[in-house]
Amino acid sequence: MDLIIWRHAEAHDHPDPLLGRPGDPLDLARRLTPRGEKQAARMAAWLDRQLPESTRVFASPAQRTDQTAQALGRRFRHRDELLPGSDPMPLLDVAQWPQARTPVLLVGHQPTCGQLIAHLLGLAAQECPVKKGAVWWLRYRERDGKPQAVVVTVQTPEMV
């Protein structure tokens, strides 16, 4: 199974940085910047060439992830499990990791994306840094009878 994790592109800062918190209404309404719109479009064009048509796509209901996912031009579903500040472990159920027969693309936020990647790769750190607009493509396999998640590719909008 392939699991593709896409962090939303660059967004405007929270309008109330002192009192705001991840997932509050003002945070969820944050939109992509013009640069973020370009990042999303570039990454979406690359993804569209790589992803099979059967890929299932899920995105956080936050405005910036919705805009990022929309750039792909494919149908997708919002999932609350992808909201800012969410626990990454329920995302394994959303993706049906590792049993899903088709690739799954998750469009989400940091630190949740990085926490999920660190968990799947067995990293000692509890979080892996993920650049805005970047994609991590992971694949499940068994080697010598042991399950593994391997990195297929990591792409940033600037590199595609």
Q: What pLDDT, in 10s, does the model give residues 41-58?
A: 999 999 999 999 999 999
Give the integer Cα–Cα distance in Å for 6 and 72.
11
pLDDT of residue 20 exceeding 90? no
The confidence score (pLDDT) of residue 148 equals 93
The confidence score (pLDDT) of residue 117 equals 97
Q: Average model confidence (pLDDT) for the chain? A: 96
pLDDT of residue 125 exceeding 90? no
Q: Place 144 in a pLDDT band, splitting at 50, 70 and 90.
A: very high
Question: Can you give the residue ranges of every domain in the chain?
Answer: 2-155
Homologous superfamily of domain range 2-155:
Phosphoglycerate mutase-like (3.40.50.1240)
DSSP strands (E only) in the chain: 2-7, 56-59, 77-78, 104-108, 135-143, 146-155
The confidence score (pLDDT) of residue 22 equals 86
The confidence score (pLDDT) of residue 150 equals 96
Antiparallel, parallel or unpaired: β 146-155 and 135-143: antiparallel
pLDDT of residue 19 exceeding 90? no
Evaluate whether 43 touches 157 at the Cβ level (below 8 Å): yes
Q: What's this model's pTM, rounded to 2 decimal places?
A: 0.96
Residue 82 DSSP class: G
Nearest to 62 by CA among 90, 81, 47, 40: 81
Average pLDDT of 95-101?
96
